[in-house]
Amino acid sequence: MAKDIPLNERIIFALDVSSREEAKRWVETLEAHTRFFKVGLQLFLVGWFDIVEWICNRGLKVFVDLKFFDVPETVKLAVKALTDRGVTFATVHGNDAMLRSAVEAAQDVQILAVTVLTSLDEADMRDLGFQCSVRDLVLSRAKRALEIGCSGVISSGLEAPMLRKALGGNFLVVAPGIRPVKNTDDQKRTVDVKEAFENGADYIVVGRPIRDASDPVAVIKNMQAQIRSVISCSQ
């Protein structure tokens, strides 16, 4: 199902930096080209809600990626704390009870369920005690999350086709682990930009490939051209 998402919101830039000042410099550099920014644990711990509000006050969108995982009542109260902050997405990385509490508490924020971190592969899953494949776990968690009422899931683009085939198009797939070339860092289940959208992603979360580039704006423009080519072919 095609969704009416502006091209300049399809790339969520990950503000995985260590200071508010650095985050602000990145926002000011990129905001003319991408309008969506992720605030994760690293930045949130040094910037708290001040940086979220600063971004939102510029008319931009914020994805608060704190992966809430705690007793359901604590998750509920954490999600409530996001109310009226201008936050678009927030993540929960927990079981059904945690997800249910988050959905019940959510008012103006959309809850995304984390399926399996893109830094984990089959060997990691065995180390964690899981007796199923990554694909099976992603599908199981996504199915339950949508039944509970989550707006979508965080999933590698590798599993996106399976999710679309099994669960349809009426939910959001946000894909991290985007790498333009063969990957050598801690992300293991990666896809490139074009593959992510061909596979059914609605948004991608990109940090290091943009941040480490000699010309970050050129990288974003190139990624957007690839996204446009996929979206135009599907419409």
Quote the tokens at residue 106: 């959510």
Host H or E run for residue 185 = none
Question: Residue 196: helix, strand or coil by DSSP?
Answer: helix
Catalytic member of 67, 80, 143, 194? 67
Residues sharing a CB contact under 8 Å with residue 199, sequence separation 6 or more, in sequence order: 157, 158, 160, 161, 164, 175, 191
DSSP state of 181: S
DSSP state of 157: T
Residue 188 catalytic?
A: no
Look at the block and give the residue holding tokens 């711990």: 45
Cβ burial, residue 197 (10 Å; 0-12/13-18/19+): buried
Q: How many residues does the chain have?
A: 235
Q: Which residues are catalytic?
A: 67
